[in-house]
A and B are shown apart, each in its own frame.
Chain A
Amino acid sequence: MRGKLSAAALAALTGLVLAGCGSSGGGGGAGSSGDPASVTGTLRVVAPNFSADNKGQEVFQGVVDRFHEEYPQVEVEGDFIPYNNLNEKISTALASGDNYDVVMAGVGWVQPLADLGAIESLEDHGYSVDDLEGVPENFIDPVMWEDELYAVPIVANPRLLAYSKSAFEAAGLDPTKPPQSLEELREYAKKLTVRDASGNITQTGFDFWADPSNYRQQFVAFMGALGGREFEDEEPGFNSDAGREALQLIHDMIQVDQSSTYGYMNSAQTALVTTGEAGMGFASPYVDCSEAGIGAKCDDLVYFTLKDQDEIMYSGGRLAGIGAGTDMPEAAAAFIDALRDPASQAAISAMDVGVPLNADAVDPSFFENNPAGQYALDHLDKAVFEYGGATFLDFRAEFGPALDAAILGERPVDDVLAELEQTALGER
């Protein structure tokens, strides 16, 4: 899944030079200065989470309508760009000083952008962590910077794990028992690997669902199960026993056991366990169990979480923040509220292959044909993320290729993680 979750970024930039936005200055609580109904102006929103097609426009319009209930006279200008190109858009926006009032991004970018001074602390505009009631606790830390709230999570984009009951049975495993530890996962993977006469894999034992240089999220997941976190309090935590063990395990599963082919993805880049090409592996939180989708295969799939010391589920997430220096901070905050509205969350999740964070946002029919989504929703409290501190961007660019080197056996695990730690600490 090249780049979809990893290219998220967008700091709200707002260095608007234009005069004429009549709202009173920020610094007060939301809505406390000036009557919202009479505020005019244009709110610029960069929205990579909304696809540029008609469906995405509809969902966005829904959010705008909700926003207009509070600020009816403020025009909303949405910039719909593909997620992978967020970087280019931010750079030009930052460079020219024509910034957005509301920025939507993904987990991981909050800290670097806050450090660059591109997004503002939400706490200056009346938001506090208490406003995020209902959001699972583990989603709070990724949006904090220097103990202040800088963005608000909207939906989650988890990666699930699944196995095929029939594959388990064929391998002599109990189809009602998912692996309870990483060692068990490894053993199961070995048994689930099926090869043909010439030794080629015809059924992958454990599908990492990654192409080369993109094993980052899988590593974070494995390390999470061993109790490690990528960063803790903005300090690197991956150069630890948990990190080393996780990386070594991935290396062993791929190179020693050969229960999967390194970097292999099918033509459509979908999860192998859902197409029947793997007995077990990572999977999407969206699956279509109707006839038009994978139909009967759904009954064969069982979702599970990674367990070892901790029980975890890897997740990304969409969030929204206010651009630094915006002229309309209250309006921007109101727009963010509109995004967090249960109806908005439901619509965005459906469009964006995500899961709403707000329990009220669950539309039962949404999960009717989508047991994956239901499972993800039930386990949001187990989410671990890929994010860090101000050096996260530098670190992330190196992370993927460095993991490759370890997985391919080119360099020892210890060296790789130690070097990455130096980058993360800003020493390289």
Chain B
Amino acid sequence: MVIASEAPAPVPARAARRRRPSGVERARARAGWILLLPALVHSAIFIAIPALMVVWFSFTDARVFSGGEFIGFENFTELFGDRTFRGALVHTLLYTIAVVPVAMAIAVLVAVALNQQIRARGFFRTLFYIPVVTATVAVSAVWLWIYNPSAGLGNQVLSFFGLSRSGWLTDPDVALPALMVIGIWQSLGTKMILYLAALQGISPELVEAAKLDGASRWQVFWNVTWPGLAPAHFFVLVTSIASSFQVFDLVYVTTGGGPANATNVLAFDIFTNAFQRLQTGYASAETVVMLVIIAALIYLGRLTQRNQEV
């Protein structure tokens, strides 16, 4: 019985590079290409090409996506001297660093808890999923109430503990952390589903075998479940980094980047430059920088998975 956490395919492939692939291998590869092609072609037309257009624009001074002359790296140099951009970059990094690990950790715990045989677990699962589909308007209304600087729930809790009131989203020092909490809250549902799906793929025989060998619950978790979740971790990590870096709706609906740009994040800054100031070239350059940074972070994330075949 093959152990589920191992990915068998890469091993023969590495061997295959040192010799000519057999007919069977070639046939398999051909079939693979057939299966892959539609997605590849589609992504090239509808994502890659537009993305390349954005890169092109980043080297021009275009306004509203038309015309514009080639200006080389001017946009980029201007960008790095732009205080608003630098602020947005820092805020986005902080936001990502805070939200991603915390949300992933909580999501794993919740998924594991909801994968057990407990009563009404379908009900609980639905509860944890609901934030994902709740209208953003409703989400912001409730959280704005919680964070209301006058008499919101947040301040009531603070005064209950004898702490002084906070301005929450109207206080430049607290606004970003307050948003991080909402971000974690909002992203739990999606991650939970992903981990739940991944948990279904972990062989129960393996768990059983480990238990029979005398492993404690924690050892079972750490040595069987956790490695089995490796592909899921990688996926959740990558997509979490990407979506945290791209956080926009949350900021747009609650603080609009304020107060005093304290919650300005990259996606919002790009939006402001592209659609409020109609400076396409500049916004495109900002996007390129953002992409490079996310790519670097994901690469680092990949490195942490190096010891596993993902």
Q: List residues of A whose CB falls within 8 A of some B CB.
A: 2-3, 87-88, 90-91, 94-95, 97, 112, 116, 198, 200-201, 211-214, 261-264, 267, 393-394, 396-398, 400-402, 404-405, 408, 410
CB < 8 Å neighbour of B261 from A91, A198, A401: A401
CB < 8 Å neighbour of A91 from B65, B148, B151, B257: B65
Give 15 A-B contacts (CB < 8 Å), ordered by A residue: A91-B274, A91-B278, A94-B65, A212-B259, A213-B259, A214-B256, A262-B149, A262-B167, A262-B170, A263-B167, A264-B150, A397-B273, A401-B261, A408-B172, A410-B172
Minimum CB distance partner of A89 in chain B: B275
User: Total A-B pairs in contact (CB under 8 Å)?
Assistant: 99
The answer to whether B260 touches A408, judged by C-beta atoms less than 8 angstroms apart, is yes
- Specify which chain B residues have a CB less than 8 angstroms from the CB of A201 in the assembled complex: 150
CB < 8 Å neighbour of A404 from B159, B167, B259, B272: B259
- Specify which chain A residues have a CB less than 8 angstroms from the CB of B170 in the assembled complex: 212, 261-264
Q: How far is the CB of B225 from chain A (nearest CB, A)?
A: 43
- Specify which chain B residues have a CB less than 8 angstroms from the CB of A116 in the assembled complex: 63-64, 278
The answer for the CA separation of A262 and B172 in the assembled complex, in Å, is 11
- Specify which chain B residues have a CB less than 8 angstroms from the CB of A398 in the assembled complex: 84
The answer to whether A94 touches B66, judged by C-beta atoms less than 8 angstroms apart, is yes
B276 at the interface (CB under 8 A from A): yes
CB < 8 Å neighbour of A200 from B64, B151, B167, B256: B151
The answer for the CA separation of A91 and B275 in the assembled complex, in Å, is 7
Which of B257, B260, B272 has the largest count of A CB atoms less than 10 A from its CB? Answer: B260
The answer to whether B64 touches A213, judged by C-beta atoms less than 8 angstroms apart, is no
The answer for the CA separation of A408 and B258 in the assembled complex, in Å, is 12
Which of B84, B148, B257, B278 has the largest count of A CB atoms less than 10 A from its CB? Answer: B278
Q: How far is the CB of B275 from chain A (nearest CB, A)?
A: 4
- Specify which chain B residues have a CB less than 8 angstroms from the CB of A262 in the assembled complex: 149, 167, 170, 259
The answer for the CA separation of A211 and B254 in the assembled complex, in Å, is 10
The answer to whether A401 touches B260, judged by C-beta atoms less than 8 angstroms apart, is yes
CB < 8 Å neighbour of A212 from B66, B255, B273: B255
Question: Given contacts A200-B151, A263-B169, are A213 and B257 in contact (CB under 8 A)?
Answer: yes
Q: List residues of B whose CB falls within 8 A of some A CB.
A: 63-66, 84, 141, 144-145, 148-151, 159, 165, 167, 169-170, 172, 255-261, 264, 272-280
The answer to whether B150 touches A200, judged by C-beta atoms less than 8 angstroms apart, is yes
- Specify which chain B residues have a CB less than 8 angstroms from the CB of A410 in the assembled complex: 172, 260
- Specify which chain B residues have a CB less than 8 angstroms from the CB of A88 in the assembled complex: 275
The answer to whether B159 touches A198, judged by C-beta atoms less than 8 angstroms apart, is yes
The answer to whether B258 touches A90, judged by C-beta atoms less than 8 angstroms apart, is no
The answer for the CA separation of A383 and B122 in the assembled complex, in Å, is 59
- Contacts A264-B149, A408-B172 aside, 19 further interface pairs with beta carbons under 8 A come to A2-B256, A87-B275, A87-B276, A87-B278, A95-B65, A200-B150, A200-B151, A200-B165, A211-B256, A212-B170, A212-B255, A261-B170, A263-B259, A393-B277, A394-B279, A401-B84, A401-B258, A404-B172, A404-B261
- Specify which chain A residues have a CB less than 8 angstroms from the CB of B149 in the assembled complex: 261-264
Q: How far is the CB of A118 from chain B (nearest CB, A)?
A: 8
- Specify which chain B residues have a CB less than 8 angstroms from the CB of A408 in the assembled complex: 172, 259-260
- Specify which chain B residues have a CB less than 8 angstroms from the CB of A405 in the assembled complex: 260
- Specify which chain A residues have a CB less than 8 angstroms from the CB of B165 in the assembled complex: 200
The answer for the CA separation of A105 and B64 in the assembled complex, in Å, is 17
The answer for the CA separation of A398 and B151 in the assembled complex, in Å, is 31
The answer for the CA separation of A410 and B262 in the assembled complex, in Å, is 12
Which of B84, B259, B273 has the largest count of A CB atoms less than 10 A from its CB? Answer: B259
The answer for the CA separation of A374 and B255 in the assembled complex, in Å, is 34
Question: Given contacts A212-B259, A264-B150, are A393 and B141 in contact (CB under 8 A)?
Answer: no
Q: How far is the CB of A418 from chain B (nearest CB, A)?
A: 15
- Specify which chain B residues have a CB less than 8 angstroms from the CB of A198 in the assembled complex: 159
- A-B interface, 5 closest residue pairs, ranked by CB to CB distance from nearest: A213-B258, A95-B65, A404-B260, A212-B259, A263-B170
Q: How far is the CB of B258 from chain A (nearest CB, A)?
A: 3
Q: How far is the CB of B42 from chain A (nearest CB, A)?
A: 21
- Specify which chain B residues have a CB less than 8 angstroms from the CB of A263 in the assembled complex: 149, 167, 169-170, 258-259
Q: How far is the CB of A308 from chain B (nearest CB, A)?
A: 27
- Specify which chain A residues have a CB less than 8 angstroms from the CB of B172 in the assembled complex: 404, 408, 410
The answer to whether B64 touches A90, judged by C-beta atoms less than 8 angstroms apart, is yes
